[in-house]
Amino acid sequence: MPEIMHPKHWYIIFVVVAIYSATSVSASSPDIFPIRRGLTLPNLTLEHIDPTLPPVLPTQAPKCSVIALQQDFADTVGAPPASANYTQPPDCPAPWTRVVLELSVSASDLQKDRIAAVWVDGVEVLRTTTPLPMAPGAFWKVTKDITRYTAAIRRLSENNGTVSMMLENSNTVLPGVYSANVTLHFYRGAIATAAKPSAATGHATIQELYKEPADLIIPVTSNNGFYGSGFWSRIESDSQIATSLIKIPQNTYRAVLEIFVSYHADDEFWFGNPLRSSYLEGAANLSTPRSNGGFRQVYATIDDKFVGGHIPFMVLYPGSINPYFWSPVAAIGAFNMPSYDLDMTPFLGMLLDGQPHKFGLGVHDSQRYWLVGANLHIWVDRWSDATQAGLINYNAPPPKMNRNAEWRNQDGQSEIDAEGLVRFIGWVSSSKGNLTTVVQQKIKFKSQIEVQNRGAVKQIEVNNKQRMMVALMKGNQALSRVQLMMDAPMQIQTSTVNAVSGAVFQKTRLYHQLVEMVNLSEGQAVSIATLTDRQDAEGSALMHDGVPVWGGGATRSAYRFKDDSTCYLRTVNTAGGIVRLDTTTASCVSVADQ
């Protein structure tokens, strides 16, 4: 559990609040960090870390490493992505065993947290957030196995394509400039273990069913990515759907749509959005312009037909809840935001006519705004000019929703329950035979919000459970089956005291966890991988205009991964901006005892 603050420390906190309350702070002044006010900073840890499983790599050093992009992001709001032409070293052609992206970033000074993304020839390969730098010189590194994007990387290397990065930063209030390097590491040779793809990524996806990367990746993104506001599309409301016309090869035998999302502005805390009949100004600081409850579902359509969706994992941004929780450890999923796979194979009968079809991306119950993008991964039959396909079963009723709310002025409670089950079955005839793909997904979601003491005490409890099954059948025989189980609970307890000039002193406790299990069956062989990523945090902060003035926090992060051949356990405890404990265990015996 996080460190508990001693009573004498609470006395110091309230003295600081009292002093601050007697001093007016200009709302337009950027000098609200301790370092900007001439106070002495503690010995902060400047390196921000993400205690997740590193990529599983070959034993040899990279065959080559290429710096694909270098860029300083200062005043870049409204600017197009930074782009660089790419040249592959002639002595490092495909094939590669692994391709790893390394994003290294430093902050010159204090700055707010920003969303960012990296694209390879228009194919998104990373969605990430920056930390909230508490001191000049903060730096961090994000490492991601991008082998599944080999088709896009081959196209990049063969056609001298473009690597792009989007990071909208502003120096209007805070002076920090983000300096970023994007490097691609290419590996050859056998990998260090017999680990499955899940061990290489640390995230469960339906790609576990497909051992080879796709033959072609088609971006489902904004058409003016190089010149406008990026390759992602902006969703402003529940009724808006971002669409793209896509034509796929007529010899396609498998297709998977991978969706990237991030949420902002009115929906940055969508999971904590209360259900209210009307908007009350200042009601517990939880209401947004449309208090429609804490349920969101990202979904896809083909020619206006629903083809699947996901309730997003609740990634907490570095400036949220209590910014001191996330310095220097990142929140779960913040540095490498998860993407969401939807198997489109049952719907290939709609797409193999050689004509372009309308792919849509939307967010149910959303408010402004979401940034969405997608990649369509395509596998083609090299022994056939055309495949045939058809949809056997389509069962996609909307989720059953139960909404309850009871409010009296600022205090009250609300609850939203959602349950749903979808099932798609389709056949594809190719040189591999006549195979049937079965896709089934079950969701169970619950969001509870309670506000007391005239809005001063708030409690949020959310649980997001999803079950996904994809099976490949030949007649009545299951050739392979992958089952994914995800459970993501979160609890937040916050008490606030208003200070002068709009400042707020808040005390917060947080529990957040991601549990994933992947069960892969191929004939008689069965393999299981499990991942548990948990964070417990407690602390206080004095906030002004969403920026920390003073505060502290203690966070305990525990990451555990285990499959048939790999064990990994890492525990990181931080307090006061310093790493107090960082231990890693690679022993299966030790992990089994946890």
Per-residue pLDDT tens over the stretch 309-357: 999 999 999 988 999 999 999 999 999 999 999 999 999 999 999 999 9
Number of Cβ atoms within 10 Å of the Cβ of 22: 9
CB neighbour list of residue 177: distance below 8 Å, 6 or more residues apart: 72, 73, 74, 107, 108, 109, 111, 169, 171
The band of 45, judged by pLDDT with boundaries at 50, 70 and 90, is confident
Residue of 328, 321, 239 whose CA lies nearest to 46: 328
Number of Cβ atoms within 10 Å of the Cβ of 373: 28
* pLDDT score recorded for residue 34: 45
Over range 273-284, report the average pLDDT.
Answer: 61
Per-residue pLDDT tens over the stretch 72-114: 999 999 899 999 999 999 999 999 999 999 999 999 999 999 9
Asked whether the predicted pLDDT for residue 508 surpasses 90, the reply is yes
- Alpha-carbon span 135 to 133, nearest angstrom: 6
* pLDDT score recorded for residue 160: 85
Over range 556-572, report the average pLDDT.
Answer: 91
Three-point CA angle 210, 481, 472, nearest 5°: 75
Q: What does the DSSP 8-state code read for residue 95?
A: P
- Alpha-carbon span 308 to 311, nearest angstrom: 11
Residue of 538, 536, 516, 520 whose CA lies nearest to 528: 520
- Alpha-carbon span 479 to 498, nearest angstrom: 61
Structure tokens, 187: 């590996």
Q: Which amino acid is at 265?
A: A
Residue of 533, 590, 558, 594 whose CA lies nearest to 2: 558
CA 583 to chain centre: 25
**What SS3 state is found at 30?**
coil
CB neighbour list of residue 108: distance below 8 Å, 6 or more residues apart: 136, 137, 175, 176, 177, 178, 179
End-to-end CA distance of the chain: 15
CB neighbour list of residue 23: distance below 8 Å, 6 or more residues apart: none
Domain limits, the chain:
7-592
Three-point CA angle 128, 133, 135, nearest 5°: 160
Over range 507-513, report the average pLDDT.
Answer: 98
* pLDDT score recorded for residue 590: 53
Residue of 283, 174, 199, 78 whose CA lies nearest to 546: 174
**What SS3 state is found at 53?**
coil
- Alpha-carbon span 492 to 482, nearest angstrom: 33
* pLDDT score recorded for residue 40: 41
CA 358 to chain centre: 26
* pLDDT score recorded for residue 180: 99
Burial of residue 12 (number of CB atoms within 10 Å: 0-12, 13-18, 19+) = exposed
* pLDDT score recorded for residue 143: 96
Contact (Cβ atoms closer than 8 angstroms) between residue 464 and residue 488: yes
Minimum mean pLDDT among 135-144, 343-352, 444-453, 545-554: which range? 545-554
Contact (Cβ atoms closer than 8 angstroms) between residue 62 and residue 157: no
Asked whether the predicted pLDDT for residue 263 surpasses 70, the reply is yes
The band of 430, judged by pLDDT with boundaries at 50, 70 and 90, is very high
Per-residue pLDDT tens over the stretch 29-41: 223 344 344 344 5
Which whole-number Å values give the CA distances from 58 to 61, 184, 193, 203, in the listed order?
8, 15, 8, 20
- Alpha-carbon span 420 to 399, nearest angstrom: 4
- Answering whether pTM is above 0.85, one says yes
Structure tokens, 349: 């009968």
Please give the share of the chain, as a percent, with pLDDT higher than 90: 74
Average pLDDT, the chain: 87
Structure tokens, 445: 């979601």
Over range 367-372, report the average pLDDT.
Answer: 95
Over range 449-473, report the average pLDDT.
Answer: 96
Annotate 505-568 with three-state secondary structure. EEEEEEEEEEEEEEEEEECCEEEEEEEEEEEEEEEEEEEECCEEEEEEEEEEEEEEEECCCCEE
Over range 191-214, report the average pLDDT.
Answer: 55
The band of 192, judged by pLDDT with boundaries at 50, 70 and 90, is low
- Alpha-carbon span 311 to 464, nearest angstrom: 8
Helix, strand, coil percent values for the chain (each to nearest 5)? 10, 50, 40
Q: What does the DSSP 8-state code read for residue 398?
A: P
* pLDDT score recorded for residue 26: 30
Which whole-number Å values give the CA distances from 376 to 30, 96, 552, 590, in the listed order?
43, 22, 43, 40
Asked whether the predicted pLDDT for residue 390 surpasses 60, the reply is yes
- Alpha-carbon span 409 to 280, nearest angstrom: 8
The band of 14, judged by pLDDT with boundaries at 50, 70 and 90, is very low
Sign of CA dihedral 202, 204, 207, 208: positive
Residue of 216, 168, 75 whose CA lies nearest to 371: 168
Minimum mean pLDDT among 199-208, 452-461, 478-487: which range? 199-208
Annotate 364-389 with three-state secondary structure. ECCCCCEEEEEEEEEEECCCCCCCEE
